[in-house]
Amino acid sequence: MADCIVANKLGPLWNELLHRTKKSEQFTESFLKKIKPTTRLAAISYLAQLQTLFKAATIFKEEAIPYAVYKGVHIREIIYDKPAIRPAADIDILISPFDKERAIRSLTQSGFSCHCLTQNISHEMTLTTDSASIDLHWHILQPGRLRRDMTNDFLATRQEVSNYWGLNTEATLFIMLVHPVFAKYSTTLQSSLIQMVDLIRWTQTQKIDWELLSMWLRQCGVQTAAWVTTDYLQLLTGITLPASFIRTIQPSSTKAAYLRKWIRLNLSSRFFNQRIIIHAGYTLPVHDTIKDAIRAIRTVIQERKLALEKTKTLQEMTIS
């Protein structure tokens, strides 16, 4: 049990709960030995990431580059009384595709090291310091997944939080509902359960414009993907989002039954080393229409043809 808690980034939350309820004595020494160090490690990582985030924010401000922090590093500042107890692997920052080269150059000239992964070069790049890393995104998902790219829409509605800019409430929830489906396949260990805790806290504490969120999901052709996350949430916790919202995004009964079966059998984890099966059996069906799935396939093929050239271009730019 302790290994599962740690793997799903829940250790610091457990420590906080045990400290608050004073129930540590109900657990074995071996359990506590695995859980207790996670709080200290999360705090160290948090401080390093905060320092790196503010450094990047200062650079972008000086260069007049609009940006927005999102996912775990942003979410924890909004909904956790003690943000350090919510671990995050890296700092996700969204910029416009038009600012990509300028942003990368500014960061590398300020001491960040650039790491180009050809398989991700269509939409993101990793830049690191000695203590933390940034995933710099110029698309919120791999190109082709959405009917309409939302990057500039999300940047236009960003909000200022604690000396940095982050995505607004609805944009953040859009990512929380859609990103785990396409990028983490929903039920794999990559999609850690801390994300479900985030989702519960976000929807229970934030004032959400559900109509705006529904419109964005419909326009992008990812209502089904969002529904999958809400259905998985209900399966795990019994918690549901507003019924009117669920009715708006739910797929046909046949597709819903198929996707529920996939989630409940945890087929994404079973076929994790056979990604072609996951893509054919899961990530393509979660698009709203066949046309959306075909667009995704075509775009992936196009991007793969350009990937090496794009990688080389960005690598040359960072050392020039």
pLDDT: is 312 or 143 the higher one?
A: 143
Q: What is the pTM of this model?
A: 0.95
Q: Quick one: residue 279, left, alpha or beta (phi over 0 = left, psi -120 to 50 = alpha)?
A: alpha
Query: How confident is the model over 220-253, as pLDDT tens digits?
Result: 999 999 999 999 999 999 999 999 999 999 999 9
Under the banding of pLDDT at 50, 70 and 90, the label for residue 27 is confident
Find the helix packing angle between 194-205 and 72-79, rounded to 10°: 50
Give the pLDDT confidence score for residue 319 in this predicted structure: 64
CB 129 within 8 A of CB 52: yes
Give the pLDDT confidence score for residue 320 in this predicted structure: 59
The token pair that represents 159 in the structure block: 């909000």
Query: How confident is the model over 251-290, as pLDDT tens digits?
Result: 999 999 999 999 999 999 999 999 999 999 999 999 999 9
Give the pLDDT confidence score for residue 28 in this predicted structure: 87
Nearest partner of 174 among 21, 264, 255, 71, judged by Cα: 71
The token pair that represents 11 in the structure block: 């250790």
What is the rounded CA–CA span in Å between residue 24 and residue 15? 9
Pick from 161-165, 225-229, 305-309: least confident: 305-309
Q: What are phi and psi of 28, to 5 degrees?
A: -70, 160
Continuous H helices in 185-274: 194-205, 210-220, 223-237, 243-249, 253-264, 267-270
Mean pLDDT of all residues in 167-186: 97
Beta strands in the chain (DSSP E): 67-70, 91-95, 113-115, 124-128, 133-137, 159-161, 164-166
Query: How large a percentage of the chain has pLDDT more than 90?
Result: 82
Under the banding of pLDDT at 50, 70 and 90, the label for residue 199 is very high
Q: Is 91 helix (H, G, I), strand (E, B) or coil?
A: strand
- Most confident of the ranges 6-10, 120-124, 154-158: 154-158
Mean pLDDT of the chain: 94
pLDDT: is 287 or 163 the higher one?
A: 287
pLDDT: is 115 or 216 the higher one?
A: 216
Largest CA distance in the chain: 59
Mean pLDDT of all residues in 200-215: 97
**Cα distances (angstroms) measured from residue 100 to each of 183, 256, 306, 313:** 21, 38, 16, 12
Under the banding of pLDDT at 50, 70 and 90, the label for residue 313 is confident
